[in-house]
Chain A
Amino acid sequence: MDDVLEMGRSMNKNETAETWKRQSQLGIVAKRIAKNPTALIGFIFLVLLVLMAVFAPYIAPYDYTEQNLMNTRSAPSLENPFGTDELGRDVMSRVIYGSRYSLSIGILSVLLGTSIGMFFGAIAGYFGGTVDNIIMRFIDILQSIPGTLLAITVSVVLGPGYFNSMLALSIGAIPMSVRLLRASILGIRGEEYLEAATSINARTHRIILRHIIPNTFAPILVSGTMMIGHVILSAAMLSFIGLGIQPPMPEWGSMIAGGRNLIRSCPHIVTFPGIFIMIAVLSINLFGDGLRDALDPKLKK
C-alpha cells in the first residue's frame, strides 16, 4: 500500500534529479537568477565592470599613466569627469583601468586559494588517516589566525606589489574549500566502505573526479563569489597600511590610500575609487546572494 502511493513520487524525483543535473542545471540557475531582480542587477553591474576592465583602453579617455603636471588636483570637469589627481592624471581613466587590478586581484586570489584548498581537501579526504589529520590540524591553525592579520603578516614578509598581495590574500580562501571537498569525499568514502569492504579503488577515483568535484562546485562557487568581495576590500586595506599594490598601478584601494591625505582638499580623488569599490563589492554580493538561492535554496552560509 505504502509502496503504491509513494511509487509515483519517487519515480518523479529520480527522473527530475537526473535531468536537472545532467542537462539544464546552468539553464535553471540562469532562469532563477533572471527572476531575482537584485541578483540580476548585481550580475549586470558585474558584467559591466568586467567589460570595463577588459575594454579599459577603449573606454578610458586617457592613459592611466598620462600626466599633466600643469593640471593637477583639478575638480571634476568636462575634460576630466572625475577630476585629476596630484600628478594631473585623469581619475576616471585610472578608475577604469583600476577595475582590472581590483577585480583581478579579487578573482585570482580566490581562484588560487580555492584551487590550493581543493587540492589539499582532496588529498585529506582521499588518503585519510595521518595525512588527513596533519592537513586538518594545519587548517585549524590557519583558521585561528584572524584572516586580516594573516594577510598582513604574509604581506610584510613578501613585500608590497600585485602578485605578493594576491598570494597573501589567497590564503584566506584555502580553509573553506579544503573543508568542503574533504567532507564530500569522506561522505563518499563512507558509502564505499558500506558497499564493499575493499579499500579505495578505481571507482573512488572516478567518483572524486566525476561527481564530487562537480558537486562541491556549487557551495564553493557561492562562498567563493562572496569571498571575492571580501578580498577586494582586504586588498584595499592592505594598500591602506602601505602593504598592498603600489602606484602607479591604479588599484582602487591604493588610489584611496594614495589620495587619503587629500581627503580634505580634493575629496574627488578618494571618493570615486571608493564608490567603485562599493559598487563592485555590492554587485558581487548581490550576485552571490542570487547565485546561492538559485543553486540551492536551502544552501545557507
Chain B
Amino acid sequence: MKKIVFLTPVLFLFSIGLLFAAGQGDSKSAAADATPEVVLAIGADPGDLAPFVGMSNGRITVLHTIYEYLFYLDKAGDPLSPYLAKDLEKIDDVTYHVFLYENIYDSAGNHITAEDAAWSYQTAMDMNYLRPVGDIESVSVVDEYTVEFVLKRKPLVGDLEKVLCEAPIVSKTAYEASSDKFAKNPVTSSPYKLSQYIPGSKLVFERRDDYWQKDLSLGPKYNRANIEKVVMQVITEPAQHSIALETKTVDISAMVTSDDVKNFEGRDGYSIFTFQDNLAVILQFNGKDGSPFASKELRQAMAYAIDSKAMCQAVAPGASTPLVTVGNSNFGGYQTKWENENYYAYDVARAKALAASAGVTPGTRIRLLQMNEPRYSLITQIIQYQLSEIGIQLEINQVEASVFNELKYDDSAWDIMLDTVAGGNFIFSPWLLAFDQTKNKGLTGGFVLDNKLQSLLTEASSTFTPESIDAFHKYQKDMNYAYGLLSFHNIVVAVEGVDKLVRDERNQIVPGSCEFSPEFK
C-alpha cells in the first residue's frame, strides 16, 4: 500500500513532466512576442518540405511561402511573368533560354546562378516526382545567368508554362549541405525564412531583411513580406477551423465548411472571400460498345434527370456553382455565353421519355464509381435518389483514391464515374483529360472512339480560337459523353484586418503577401 501511495504521485509528477516536455519549445514566449504575425490554418501537414518531391494536400499550401520559381502565371492563359528569371527567349520550337536575375541570394547567403537553376531542374528530373519536368529533354548552363531548356517535343498551349513554373530553384551548395535534403529545414531565396517546423503542428516563418528582389513590382504578387511573422497552423479536423477563427486562434482559414461560413456572414470582426475552385466535378459515361451508355439518348436522359442546381444547394450552399460545360470559368478560354444556353436543365418527364426511347426498363441497374470523399458521397447520393425517379437503380461503388485511379481505366468496372478534372490553365485542359483519344489506348476517358470529337479537340487545343473552342463545346454538349455537374468555391474566412488575400496559381493563400490594415495585430 505504501508503495502505491508512493507510486501515484510519482506517476503523476512524471506525466506532468512529460506534458511539459512535450509542450516545451512549442509554446509562444507569450508577453515578449509583440511582433505582428498572421496565422493561417492549413488542413494537412506538409510532411516533407523538400523541393523536388511529390505533391500532397499539405505541401501545396506551403510551397509559395517557402520556394521561388523561374516564372509565374498571373492568371490562367497569361504569358509567363518574371520571378527568379527576368526573361525568356525562344531559340527554336523545342529550345528556350532563360535569363536569371544577377542578384539572387538565399537566406544563407548563397548566390543563386544558372548553375543552381540547371541543377535544380536536373535533380527534379532525376527524382521523377514533378510530372511536367518529364517533358524536358535536357537542361544546361549557357552562361552564369542563362539556362537552356530543350524539350522533348514542340509544346502545346500551356505546356512550356507548366514546365517553367514547376520546379523550385534552390542553391546546390545549401541543398548538399543539408542533412535531410531540405525535408525539415529548407534554405531558399524567398522573402520569408522558415524558423520553426513542428511536423504535424505548425510552421513559423520570419521575414528576411535581406530579400534579394528590391523592386517588388518586378516579381509576382506573392513574393511580398507584408508582415513580420507568418505561422501556418495544421488543423486536421474540419470543424475545428471555424472554432479556431471564432476563438481567434487563427486569422485566416480556407477550410471553413460552407455551413460554418454562414456563422461568419455579416459578423463583426470577420470578412469572407469567395473564389471558384479549378476542379470541375463531372459525370463520365462508359460509352464503349455494348454498354448502356453507348446510347446518346440515355446519356442525355441522365443529364436531364439530375438537378444540378438543387445539388449545389444541398451539397455546398452558396459555395458551389452548377457547370455549363466540362470545366469552369476559372479556365482561360471559357465563354460566358454558355451560361445562357440550356445545359440539360432538370426535366424529369424528358428524362423518362429519353430513357424509354433508349430502351431502359424500370429497375435497370447502373454502376457508379466514386472516389471516397465526403462531398462526393453527397453528390452521388443525390444522383442515386434522382435516378430512382426515372426508374434507374444506381449502385454506388466508393473506393479509395488509389483504387479509383486504377479502376478508372478499366472499362468493365463502371457504367458511370464521378470524376474531377482540372489539369491545366485553359478550358481545353479538362477536355484533354476527359476526351483525348491519343492517350488511354486510343479512346476517351469514357472508352469512346469518336474521330470528330478528337479532331475538334485537337483544333481547339492547338489554335485556341473562340470559334474552335465553342465548336468543341457544342459537339460535346450534344453528344454528352461527359456531363459537367458542379464546381466548388473556395471560401476563405479571415479576421478583420486582413484586407486583401493573395493566392498562388494553385489557389493557395500566400499569407505573407496578403495585405493587412495597420491595426492588424
Point out residues on A near B: beta carbons under 8 Å: 65-67, 69-70, 72-73, 86-88, 159-160, 242, 246-248, 258, 260-266
Which has the most chain A C-beta neighbours within 10 Å: B310, B311, B313, B385?
A: B385
Of A65, A88, A160, A260, the residue contacting B372 (CB under 8 A) is: A160
Interface residues as binary, B228-265 with A (CB distance below 8 Å gives 1, 0 otherwise):
00000000011100110000000000000101101100
Contact B243 A264 (CB under 8 A): yes
Which residues of B line the A interface, CB within 8 A? 237-239, 242-243, 257, 259-260, 262-263, 307, 310-311, 313-315, 317, 372, 374, 377-378, 381-382, 384-385, 388, 398-400, 403
Residues of B within 8 A of A264 (CB): 239, 242-243, 259-260, 263
CB contacts (< 8 Å) of A258 on chain B: these are 374, 377
Alpha-carbon distance A160/B373, docked complex (angstroms): 12
Q: Do A87 and B381 contact each other (CB < 8 Å), given the known contacts A72-B313, A261-B239, A265-B259?
A: yes
Tell me what chain B mostly uses at the interface: helix, strand, loop, or mixed.
helix
Give the CA-CA distance A266 to B314 in the complex, in Å. 13
* Nearest CB of chain A from residue B213's CB, rounded to whole Å: 41
Q: Are B385 and A67 neighbours in the complex by a CB distance under 8 Å?
A: yes
CA distance A261 to B259 in the complex (A): 8
Q: Which 4 A-B pairs have the closest CB atoms?
A: A69-B310, A265-B259, A261-B257, A67-B385
Q: How far is the CA of A194 from the CA of B381 in the complex (A)?
A: 66
- B239–A87 contact, CB under 8 A? no
Which A residues are CB-close (under 8 A) to B317?
Answer: 72
With a cutoff of 8 Å between Cβ atoms, the chain A residues found around residue B382 in the complex are 67, 69, 87
The one of B314, B377, B388 in contact with A69, judged by C-beta atoms closer than 8 angstroms, is B314
Question: Given A248-B384, A261-B260, does the pair A69, B307 have CB atoms closer than 8 Å?
Answer: yes
- Residue in A70, A86, A242, A248 whose CB lies within 8 Å of B310: A70
B239 near A242: Cβ-Cβ < 8 Å: no
Nearest A residue to B259 via CB reads A265
Smallest Cβ distance from B488 to chain A, in angstroms?
14
CB pair A246 B315 closer than 8 Å:
no
Complex CA distance for A45 and B208, rounded to whole angstroms: 65
Main secondary structure of the interface of A (DSSP, over half): loop
- In the bound assembly, the distance between CA atoms of A270 and B382 in angstroms comes to 20
B260→A72 contact, CB < 8 A: no
Contact present for B314 and A87 (CB under 8 Å): yes
- Tell me which of A70, A160, A262 contacts B259 (CB under 8 A): A262
Q: Are A261 and B238 interface neighbours, CB within 8 A?
A: yes
Alpha-carbon distance A38/B260, docked complex (angstroms): 41
In the bound assembly, the distance between CA atoms of A160 and B374 in angstroms comes to: 13
Since A69-B313, A261-B259 are in contact, a sample of 5 more A-B pairs with Cβ atoms closer than 8 Å, ordered by chain A residue number, is A65-B384, A246-B377, A247-B377, A247-B381, A261-B239
A70 to B312, CA, bound (A): 11
A87 to chain B, nearest CB (A): 5
25 A-B residue contacts at CB 8 Å? A65-B381, A65-B385, A65-B388, A67-B314, A67-B382, A69-B307, A69-B382, A72-B313, A86-B259, A86-B314, A86-B315, A86-B378, A87-B382, A87-B385, A159-B403, A160-B372, A160-B398, A242-B372, A248-B381, A260-B237, A261-B374, A264-B259, A264-B260, A265-B259, A265-B262
Among candidates B238, B314, B388, residue contacting A260 with C-beta atoms closer than 8 Å: B238
Could you say which of A86, A159, A263 contacts B239, with CB atoms under 8 Å apart?
Answer: A263
Asked if residues A88 and B314 are in contact (CB atoms below 8 Å), the reply is yes
Residues of A contacting B313 with CB < 8 Å? 69, 72
Whole-angstrom distance between the alpha carbons of A73 and B262 in the complex?
13
Indicate the member of B311, B381, B400 with the most A CB atoms within 10 Å: B381
Bound-complex Cα distance A65 to B393 (A): 13
The answer to whether A260 and B259 have CB atoms under 8 Å apart is: no
| Shortest beta-carbon distance from A159 to chain B in Å | 6
Report B-chain residues with C-beta under 8 Å of the C-beta of A242.
372
Q: In the docked arrangement, what's the CA distance between A211 and B399, Å?
A: 47
Cα of A69 to Cα of B315 in the assembled complex, Å? 9
Q: Give chain A nearest CB distance to B345 CB in angstroms.
A: 15
How far is B377's CA from A262's CA once the two chains are assembled, in angstroms?
16
Q: Are A69 and B311 touching (Cβ within 8 A)?
A: yes
Contact check, A246 vs B398: say whether CB atoms are below 8 A apart. Answer: yes
Least CB distance, B315 to chain A, in whole angstroms? 7
Smallest Cβ-Cβ distance to A71: which chain B residue: B314
| Residue among B259, B317, B374, B378 with most chain A CB within 10 A | B259
Contacts of B262 in A (CB 8 A): 265
CA distance A69 to B309 in the complex (A): 10
Shortest distance in angstroms between B367's beta carbon and chain A's nearest beta carbon? 15
Could you tell me if A87 and B378 are in contact, using CB atoms closer than 8 angstroms?
yes
Bound-complex Cα distance A248 to B383 (A): 12
Task: Report the separation of the CA atoms of residues A197 and B257 in the bound assembly, to the nearest whole angstrom.
Answer: 73
Residues of the A chain whose Cβ atoms lie less than 8 Å from the Cβ of B242: 264
What is the bound-complex CA distance between A112 and B137, given in angstroms?
59
Using Cβ atoms and an 8 Å threshold, which residues of chain B touch A72? 313-314, 317
**In the complex, what residue of chain B is closest to A247 when comparing beta carbons?**
B377
Complex Cα distance, B400 from A262, in Å, reads 24
Cα(A230)–Cα(B263), bound, Å: 36
Q: Which residues of B contact A88 (CB under 8 A)?
A: 314
Quick check: B257 and A262 within 8 Å, CB to CB? yes
Hey, which chain B residues are within 8 Å of A70, CB to CB? 310
Chain B: minimal CB distance from A102 (Å): 19
Question: A residues within 8 A CB of B377?
Answer: 246-247, 258
Kindly provide the distance from the CB of B505 to the nearest chain A CB, expressed in whole angstroms. Answer: 27
Q: Looking across the interface, which residue of chain B has its beta carbon closest to that of A67?
A: B385
Which residues in B have their C-beta under 8 angstroms from that of A69?
307, 310-311, 313-314, 382
Chain B residue at smallest Cβ distance from A66:
B385
B389 CB to nearest chain A CB (Å): 10
Q: Which residue of B lies closest to A266 (CB)?
A: B259
